[in-house]
Amino acid sequence: MDPELKKSIDNLIATNGIVVFMKGSRQFPQCGFSNTVVQILNTMGVKYETVDILADPRLRSGMKEYSQWPTFPQVYINGEFFGGCDIMIQAYQSGELKEILEVALNS
């Protein structure tokens, strides 16, 4: 992939504890899956950044390659790919997400 694009993605992930690559913004999610992830993170009361991949077609295709994940949302926690909507729902319901966020945000 384009090295400049990779560098800017690396930077976004490295400088934000939680970053969600999604369709739309946290105020105006443009897809139900992205909206669900925003609602979960809002419920958890954590600080997070969102990136609207619909605003940049290069980022939309680039993120699929970067994460080796074909869909959005894509959630990164402490520099690592965590998952999409289904994984976030599962982790939220099981309590795993709470544990991960506590560890991640206190480290």
Ligand X SMILES: N[C@@H](CCC(=O)N[C@@H](CS)C(=O)NCC(=O)O)C(=O)O
**Binding-site residues, please?**
23, 31, 60, 72, 85-86
Q: How many other CB atoms sit within 10 Å of the CB of residue 7? A: 10
Q: What is the smallest separation between the CB atom of 84 and ligand X, expressed in angstroms? A: 3
Residue among 15 and 28 whose Cβ is closer to ligand X: 28
Sign of CA dihedral 30, 77, 48, 13: negative
For residue 34, report the phi and psi dihedrals to the nearest 5 degrees: -65, -40
Among 2, 86, 96, 102, the residue binding ligand X under the rule CB under 6 A is 86
Which residues ranging from 9 to 38 are in contact with ligand X (CB under 6 A)?
23, 31, 33
